[in-house]
């Protein structure tokens, strides 16, 4: 059961970084300036709908399903400390409580925008803290279909954007925005995000790999509203179309 | 804003622990060691060694996580080696977790350092050498630990009011010494027993961008003993000299490269020497469709201590090169394999390790560990182990 233990919110603060402009040059070659600006604006509105949460604590069960349908689970908790400056990443701590042999293993990450994150791993059996390379953002996170880069908070300025159009998803009117990772070692060339027009939450993301092939789909569900208009999904399902494996966070 | 946020996350951290006031977990493992050759010394076990190990881990969290109480008893029952059958309390402490200050009292376990092939800087805990000759298993150390976390780093001070003696195999155990080591005969600079002696340590650690740095100083009885013959020349008495040791450990992390260096200067009653280990770890990511990683490790080990056993404890890692490969499957079973060879630059004596691990289901871990001694020169410290190459198969149930 994905459970939000704590979600602290600051007094409504002024939006920061709104003067930021993402140059069209970063984006897909044929994107025109207007659709780039609109794509960024929609993404920024979605990102800022989440602003001011200060810190959150989530406990979740990760269920890994292989192509034969066999499952294994991991229980973990995520703590996030928000950095309001859009040019500085959030800080996150992930702690595992199962499987039992890795109980207490913790991953601390200081997200960066365009350079590799700073990450430290705590190994409880040895009481050892190891600074680890985070160049491998596209690698699988603990054997799941999530990549490390899917987990580090989706900072606004990690992408350039392009507005595609409107659509309907799950009975909601959504904006369709393509986003292009600026980090050169990203495992993706493109992501297509559906962001609803009501509360500006990302409902679905399609991921395209380095060859441009459709790799994965992430679907967000069970949205609930927290104090001060902060929305959080309570189920996340990532399906890998190339391996037919999937991972859910509930 | 930043300060407020830091305060809030600490408050948040408290509440999650309040949800789990008491937690008991543990593991039970069955181990089978197979030696490739018969024993070199009379009385030692033949080629098969079976043993069981049990560890319990009890944790209480009180007052919204402000206080922790932890108890981790450990026992090994060995079928062949009487010296390897033993009980220890790995951890048993009370800790107060303040906003910037934390205090811990009891039996604790601490790790310092960055290197893979030898741990020079790590000195707080005594090695539980009967577990494995890699000295990564440690005995619980009585301590009072005070930590202060500031923006500019973490400072930790230790008062270590009692000494733990290193464990050694019994006369029936393999991987032993030409004569049995009798801990009852242990000698100290401070007299017959160091239990009354108090050791001290201080450490500073922090990160600066891509650099992680640790500085440490230790004063007290060396964790490494030298061996002195007893009066009848029938056994070794371990002699734990009083030392002062200064340590530095640095890691530079850049993309897929990890650059590591550990260095010490140790001042003993007989000499002052330096030792260092340094090297690199480079990872190739996503080498398979399923996202496996392959890391290459290379480290050079240097130790300037005297080779006279009456002056300094023996070391294997005096002028050696370690090369290794680490394969991580990144699968749901967290499967991994580590293969390494340490070669002496002077005489080409070699020791090899293989460590492989995977999970079965949710609660079982299977491990294979092999240690191989090859081309060992008669003058090399490893010569006593040359017939003790073995593989170990361990199955552990976690609960």
Query: Can you give the CATH number for the domain in which A86 is found?
Result: 2.50.20.10
**Gap between the terminal Cα atoms of chain A:** 5
The pLDDT confidence band at residue B14, using thresholds 50, 70 and 90, is very low
In a domain, A31, yes or no: no
Q: Are B394 and B367 in contact (CB under 8 A)?
A: yes
pLDDT above 50: residue B152: yes
Do the Cβ atoms of B334 and A143 come within 8 Å?
Answer: yes
The pLDDT confidence band at residue A114, using thresholds 50, 70 and 90, is confident
- Residue A30's pLDDT is 52
pLDDT, average across residues B149-177: 94
Cβ-Cβ contacts under 8 Å, A56 against chain B: 12
Paired tokens of A45: 């509105």
| Phi-psi map region of A54: left, alpha, beta (phi>0 left; psi -120 to 50 alpha) | left
pLDDT, average across residues B352-363: 95
In a domain, A28, yes or no: no
Q: Are A177 and A164 in contact (CB under 8 A)?
A: yes
Summarised one tens digit per residue, pLDDT across range B181-219 is 999 899 998 766 666 779 999 999 999 999 999 999 999
pLDDT above 80: residue B350: yes
> What is the domain range of residue A214?
3-11+41-249
Q: How far is CA A13 from CA A60, A200, B5, B149, B303, in A?
A: 29, 18, 14, 29, 58
pLDDT above 50: residue B2: no
Do the Cβ atoms of A100 and B25 come within 8 Å?
Answer: yes
Question: % helix / strand / coil in chain A, to the nearest 5?
Answer: 10, 45, 40
The residue of chain A with its CA nearest to that of B364 is: A101
Pick A151 or A104 by higher pLDDT.
Answer: A104
Establish if A228 touches chain B: CB-CB under 8 angstroms.
Answer: no
Establish if A115 touches chain B: CB-CB under 8 angstroms.
Answer: no
In a domain, A143, yes or no: yes
Give how far B243 is from chain A: nearest CA, Å.
Answer: 24
In a domain, A19, yes or no: no
- Residue B192's pLDDT is 62
Paired tokens of A51: 């602003």
| Angle in degrees, CA A162, A164, A167, rounded to 5 | 140
- Residue B193's pLDDT is 66
Establish if A5 touches chain B: CB-CB under 8 angstroms.
Answer: yes
- For residue B247, the cross-strand partners are B216, B264
Pick B255 or A25 by higher pLDDT.
Answer: B255
Summarised one tens digit per residue, pLDDT across range A190-224 is 999 999 998 999 999 999 999 999 999 999 999 98
In a domain, A23, yes or no: no
Give how far B27 is from chain A: nearest CA, Å.
Answer: 8
- Residue A5's pLDDT is 64
Q: Tell me the CATH number for domain B2-398.
A: 2.40.160.10
Mean pLDDT of chain A: 83
- Backbone phi, then psi, for A178, in 5-degree steps? -90, 140
Q: Say how many domains are in chain A.
A: 1
pLDDT cut 70: percent of chain B above it: 93
Q: How far is CA B162 from CA B147, B165, B194, B200, in A?
A: 20, 10, 7, 11
Q: Does the model's pTM come out above 0.90?
A: no
Summarised one tens digit per residue, pLDDT across range B71-117 is 999 999 999 999 999 999 999 999 999 999 999 999 999 999 999 99
pLDDT above 70: residue A8: no
In a domain, A51, yes or no: yes
Q: How many of the other CB atoms lie within 10 Å of CB of B48?
A: 12
In a domain, A69, yes or no: yes
- Backbone phi, then psi, for A209, in 5-degree steps? -75, -175
Cβ-Cβ contacts under 8 Å, B251 against chain A: 131
Do the Cβ atoms of B9 and A128 come within 8 Å?
Answer: no
In a domain, A25, yes or no: no
- Residue A135's pLDDT is 81
Do the Cβ atoms of A140 and B359 come within 8 Å?
Answer: no
Q: Are B356 and B340 in contact (CB under 8 A)?
A: no
pLDDT above 50: residue B347: yes
pLDDT, average across residues B294-302: 97
Cβ-Cβ contacts under 8 Å, A82 against chain B: 5
Domain ranges (residues) in chain B = 2-398
Mean pLDDT of chain B: 91
pLDDT above 90: residue A16: no
**Closest by alpha carbon to A119, among A103, A87, A141, A146?**
A141
Alpha helices in chain A (DSSP H): 33-48, 148-151
- Residue B245's pLDDT is 98
- For residue A193, the cross-strand partners are A177, A205
- Residue B11's pLDDT is 34
Establish if A59 touches chain B: CB-CB under 8 angstroms.
Answer: yes
Pick B99 or B366 by higher pLDDT.
Answer: B366
Spatial separation of the C-alpha atoms in residues B23 and B179, rounded to whole Å: 44
């Amino acid at each position: 059961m994905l459970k939000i233990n704590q979600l602290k919110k600051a007094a409504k603060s002024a939006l920061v970084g709104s003067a930021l402009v993402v140059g069209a040059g970063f984006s897909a070659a044929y994107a025109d300036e207007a659709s780039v600006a609109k794509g960024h604006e929609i993404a920024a509105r979605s990102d800022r709908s989440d602003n001011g949460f200060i810190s959150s604590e989530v406990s979740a069960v990760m269920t890994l399903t292989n192509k034969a349908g066999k499952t294994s689970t991991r229980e973990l908790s995520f703590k996030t400390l928000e950095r309001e400056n859009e040019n500085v990443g959030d800080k996150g701590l992930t702690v595992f409580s199962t499987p039992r042999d890795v109980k207490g293993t913790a991953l601390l990450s200081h997200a960066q925008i365009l350079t590799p994150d700073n990450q430290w791993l705590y190994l409880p059996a040895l009481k050892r803290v190891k600074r680890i390379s985070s160049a491998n953002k596209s690698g699988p996170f603990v054997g799941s279909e999530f990549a490390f880069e899917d987990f580090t908070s989706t900072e606004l300025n990690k992408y350039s954007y392009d507005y595609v159009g409107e659509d309907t998803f799950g009975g909601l009117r959504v904006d369709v925005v393509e986003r292009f990772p600026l980090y050169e070692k990203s495992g993706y060339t493109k992501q297509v995000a559906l962001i609803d027009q009501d509360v500006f939450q990302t409902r679905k993301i399609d991921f395209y790999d380095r060859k441009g092939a459709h790799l994965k789909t992430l679907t967000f569900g069970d949205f609930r509203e927290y104090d001060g208009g902060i929305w959080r999904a309570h189920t996340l399902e990532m399906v890998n179309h190339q391996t037919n494996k999937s991972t859910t966070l509930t | 804003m930043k300060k407020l946020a830091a305060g809030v996350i600490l408050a948040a951290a408290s509440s999650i622990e309040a949800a789990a006031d008491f937690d008991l977990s543990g593991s039970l493992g069955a181990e089978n060691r197979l030696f490739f050759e018969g024993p070199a010394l009379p009385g030692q076990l033949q080629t098969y060694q079976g043993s069981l190990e049990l560890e319990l881990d009890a944790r209480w969290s009180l007052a919204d996580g402000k206080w922790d109480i932890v108890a981790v008893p450990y026992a090994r029952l060995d079928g062949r080696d009487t010296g390897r059958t033993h009980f220890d309390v790995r951890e048993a402490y009370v800790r107060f977790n303040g906003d910037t200050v934390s205090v811990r009292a009891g039996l604790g376990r601490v790790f310092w350092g960055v290197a893979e092939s030898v741990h020079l800087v790590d000195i707080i805990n005594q090695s539980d050498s009967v577990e494995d000759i890699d000295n990564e298993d440690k005995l619980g150390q009585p301590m009072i630990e005070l930590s202060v976390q500031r923006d500019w780093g973490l400072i930790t001070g230790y008062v270590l009011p009692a000494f733990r003696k290193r464990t050694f195999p019994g006369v029936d155990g393999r991987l032993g010494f030409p004569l049995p080591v009798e801990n009852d005969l242990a000698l100290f600079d401070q007299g017959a027993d160091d239990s009354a002696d108090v050791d001290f340590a201080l450490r500073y650690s922090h990160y600066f961008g891509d650099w992680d740095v640790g500085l440490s100083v230790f004063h007290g009885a060396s964790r490494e003993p030298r061996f002195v013959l007893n009066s009848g020349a029938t056994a070794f008495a371990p002699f734990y000299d009083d030392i002062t040791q200064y340590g530095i450990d640095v890691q530079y992390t850049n993309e897929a490269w990890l650059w590591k260096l550990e260095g010490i200067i140790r001042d003993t009653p007989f000499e002052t020497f330096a030792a260092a280990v340094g090297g690199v770890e480079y990872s190739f990511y996503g080498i398979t469709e399923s996202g496996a990683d392959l890391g290459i490790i290379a480290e050079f080990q240097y130790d300037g201590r005297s080779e006279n056993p009456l002056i300094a404890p023996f070391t294997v890692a005096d002028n050696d090169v370690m090369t290794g490969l680490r394969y991580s499957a990144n699968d749901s079973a967290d499967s991994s394999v580590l293969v390494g060879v340490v070669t002496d630059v002077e005489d080409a004596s070699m020791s090899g390790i293989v460590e492989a691990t995977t999970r079965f289901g949710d609660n079982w871990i299977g491990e294979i560990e092999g240690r191989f001694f090859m081309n060992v020169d008669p003058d090399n410290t490893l010569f006593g182990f040359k017939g003790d190459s073995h593989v170990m198969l361990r199955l552990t149930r976690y609960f």
